[in-house]
Structure 1
């Protein structure tokens, strides 16, 4: 009995190493599950009687586990951080010469990796089974149940959040080689972006002169029309817009097609629709359309370039002639890019994707631009300040364009729920949200230099999923079936009416039938 106990010592040592590698950065419940799966894996491999076959089967998983631990220690010792998506993307973007050079530079990690592989394989070779018959097979049964449970949970999460994510990435997160999730995510992002950017439609288009040379599209984030004073909100959150009211075509009942960015944004600037939602439609977008029409195109973004909630949008943006993603500062950090782009002469489309009022909304504006306080505005102070800051940004854009033949189109990707009873008062809609999660601001501003501006209001209920049609009419581009003789306002009214929306599981509802 004592000799059998000694045979568990290599397993105990390996458990300590795996635990130490994970306790550095992983939450306790995640670390615990990774340890459990590691132990179950080793005990399950012990069911293979022939040691040579057992080691052959164990070679790949133990190799990957050793690699995972080595990557964790490398990132921790070299950068003081966990291994991350950025590291994985750098590796995938490196060529064989760069990888070889890195391996030579960090030889101690290569030696440590080989030592770990040997130790892990020794652990598999020496760890005895728990007993005979059903007791020996129990670890395998538990392992299978855990893995199946993780797959089901990951599938439900992807469906509920409606992101362009990978089930495998979420499952791997709870395995003892979790760092591989970053490589899976990076590869998935690269493929999705490449697929969207590489399929460019050949449009049969016509162009009409609009008297406008510079088109600026500002895509807002998480802005509620209900919190904007231009829509009747009691707090003065949009003074810049109200000052420009005579230069606006204002939508009073614009409804987003989805309550989350990754679905809502592509739906507004591509041929995708709520009732025929398919990412294959994303290649038919306003960037490709403007390019073919001879516009100079730019995409400037304060939102992330990569990840489950940004990769599809990045795929659309990649074909813009000029593009820049900024990580630092507030939304006004995009203004220098806008000024630089305005040097261009001729027709141009400039897209600015801002962070707007995305939660946590208190971090979307500097303390010096916070006219609303908890004393004056209560739990709405931060959110109202974020709306006010977006209004200030729009005012700055108007000032830059007032002496040009220019126009600005703005809409928010989606709105937010407001629930004072929750710890996060303003939050994204989920499964079957209320109407509030979809009610967004939308307008087109015309510079004083534009003759016969199409101003007024669009009062009928309108879906922003139709914005690709509005935007091309705005730019004077028509496709077969369009009515180029119609104004933007007439086009919007013609497209108004019933408004289908989808929740985060892609279930489609009639917006009018949702709870208000």
Structure 2
């Protein structure tokens, strides 16, 4: 019981530990009852082995999820990720994160083997008189009372539904049903898209500026601004964007303090396109933390205002495709190989973007480009043998060594930075295409941001998505527009939040609509920052 209790403490907290302990009691109580026949003892050992394995495996999985993501297995983040993950992606996830997963698995297995060894030793060392006929009647009165009490508690726990559903067998069976429910909800997206267009039309969007207009929105994945030399990083990971900044000066606005309010892709995109008020069940405003009405979809608003919309993506993601991409007039999904290890590089989207820019079927165009960016696996996000940062130690490597970062995290950092260098070339090319294309006398704009950040040894000895550190939310945001408008002094230093980015996008599109809020448009003179409530502690949003 002590071995089991130790594992339960790792996987649960508070009174949940006591609840799980009571649920686990029955076969352990059986150990207190002397039995004579060997086959009964073997049966008891088998039952206890399977029973305890379920509880220990459950606790191990929960402990890993909490340590890595501060998330419960039935939390929205985990359920959405599981529903949106293929078998191949699962294998690739295990390939990348096998070290911490192996450590937790070995720990859980060792605890289970220790428990079984103790039980077998206890059975072999049981006094002979305890195994004699009638031995059970020789149990002390206090022990028989304790057995009756424990079994009574266990019975009550199994009668109580809130307790019973915590049992590993029931919990994980219901967990699978919840995952299937999430997937089933995505199957009805055509109706949801029709409703989104209706909601957008009811907001009465109008274009406030006459003439042709071309806007390119570039959304990348898993890019942390702390790894961009454009933001002061020690490795030269964004030389081309820096060159564009030097050439364009104030015309290229680099938001120095940009933040996401989500640490994973699906909720981040929901927030981006629904103005921080996503339509998902239980959605909350990231500022107020209270339930609010769903906002129109930004793509639907653009279409209702007369824009032709393209969605050009290097992702293969069912949830994103159904919730956002299919709302566009033209959907170009370049990457048809699902999984983290997809070798489709982001340059594949460039020709499609060029064709959309040159399209003459509409003089008002919104082109949404969704890049893989630095989405794990990092080594799949740049061409083979194109990692200049793994040749020799440098200042970044020395700083990570001084901070006690492990070899595997330092290796992932070099791969991540190589992905950033390749990513820089794609983003700069998309900016060039936007600046050079479109109607000669028309309005043009370009907006680039990441859905969320990534932890690569900045705040902890870890690499990957992180909901528990600032790195999971620190993102880049860069804007350009023509004709150039004078920004209030210091606006590039003002904090920026991605769940408000659609307000800025509407401003670039020149769309006015019921629900427009200039105080959330980062380029508007009336912009007013409000700090979001994030799961991770943030010392200051202005840094």
Q: Tell me the TM-score range normalised by the shorter chain.
A: 0.5 to 0.7
Q: Is 1:317 matched up with 2:329?
A: no
| Whole-angstrom distance in 1 between the partners of 2:352 and 2:259 | 30
Q: Structure 1 204/140 Cα, relative in aligned 2: closer, same or farther at 3 Å?
A: farther
Q: Is 1:333 matched up with 2:333?
A: no
| Whole-angstrom distance in 2 between the partners of 1:362 and 1:444 | 28
Find 2:381's aligned residue among 364, 369, 376: 364
Work out whether residues 268 and 468 of structure 1, in 8 Å CA contact, stay in contact via their aligned partners in 2.
yes
User: Which residue of the partner structure matches residue 416 of structure 1?
Assistant: 454
User: Which residue of the partner structure matches residue 504 of structure 2?
Assistant: 470
User: Which residue of the partner structure matches residue 157 of structure 1?
Assistant: 73
**CA deviation map 1:147-192 (0-9, x unaligned):** 999699699314173542679x99999999x9x9899479526436
**CA deviation map 1:384-435 (0-9, x unaligned):** 11111111001221232232343210011111223279775x32113x32x2
User: Which residue of the partner structure matches residue 484 of structure 2?
Assistant: 452
Q: CA RMSD in A?
A: 4.5
Q: Could you state the TM-score of these two structures normalised by the residue count of structure 1?
A: 0.59
| Whole-angstrom distance in 2 between the partners of 1:215 and 1:156 | 40
Work out whether residues 274 and 502 of structure 1, in 8 Å CA contact, stay in contact via their aligned partners in 2.
no
User: Which residue of the partner structure matches residue 165 of structure 2?
Assistant: none
Work out whether residues 255 and 461 of structure 1, in 8 Å CA contact, stay in contact via their aligned partners in 2.
yes
* Equivalent residues, number: 365
Q: Secondary structure at the match of 2:315?
A: coil
**CA deviation map 1:469-513 (0-9, x unaligned):** 11111111122353679985235x72324232246xxxxx6x347
Work out whether residues 518 and 527 of structure 2, in 8 Å CA contact, stay in contact via their aligned partners in 1.
no
Work out whether residues 216 and 409 of structure 1, in 8 Å CA contact, stay in contact via their aligned partners in 2.
yes
Q: Could you state the TM-score of these two structures normalised by the residue count of structure 2?
A: 0.57
User: Which residue of the partner structure matches residue 256 of structure 2?
Assistant: 252
**How do residues 55-454 of structure 1 correspond to structure 2 at under 5 angstroms?**
156-159=72-75, 161-164=77-80, 184=180, 187-188=183-184, 190-191=186-187, 193-194=189-190, 196-200=192-196, 201=199, 202-209=202-209, 213-245=213-245, 246=248, 247-271=251-275, 272=277, 273-275=285-287, 284-306=296-318, 311=319, 314-325=322-333, 326=335, 327=337, 329-342=344-357, 343-344=359-360, 345-367=362-384, 369-375=386-392, 377=394, 378=397, 379=410, 380-403=413-436, 404=438, 405=442, 406-419=444-457, 426-430=463-467, 432-433=468-469, 435-446=470-481, 450-453=482-485
Q: Structure 1 428/439 Cα, relative in aligned 2: closer, same or farther at 3 Å?
A: same
| Whole-angstrom distance in 2 between the partners of 1:146 and 1:338 | 51
Q: Secondary structure at the match of 1:367?
A: coil
Q: Secondary structure at the match of 2:423?
A: helix
- How much has 1:277 moved relative to structure 2? 7.3
| Whole-angstrom distance in 2 between the partners of 1:240 and 1:361 | 20
| Whole-angstrom distance in 2 between the partners of 1:427 and 1:280 | 31
Work out whether residues 272 and 499 of structure 2, in 8 Å CA contact, stay in contact via their aligned partners in 1.
yes
- How much has 1:213 moved relative to structure 2? 1.6
Q: Structure 1 210/361 Cα, relative in aligned 2: closer, same or farther at 3 Å?
A: farther
**CA deviation map 1:330-385 (0-9, x unaligned):** 01111122122222441111111111111221210103643433415543322111
User: Which residue of the partner structure matches residue 124 of structure 2?
Assistant: none
Unaligned 5+ runs, structure 1: 1-130, 504-508
Q: Secondary structure at the match of 1:495?
A: coil
Which shows bigger deviation, 342-351 or 412-421? 412-421
Work out whether residues 500 and 521 of structure 2, in 8 Å CA contact, stay in contact via their aligned partners in 1.
no
Q: Secondary structure at the match of 2:374?
A: coil
Q: Structure 1 369/390 Cα, relative in aligned 2: closer, same or farther at 3 Å?
A: same
Work out whether residues 373 and 423 of structure 2, in 8 Å CA contact, stay in contact via their aligned partners in 1.
yes
**CA deviation map 1:227-268 (0-9, x unaligned):** 111111232221221222223122110111011112222212
- How much has 1:290 moved relative to structure 2? 0.6
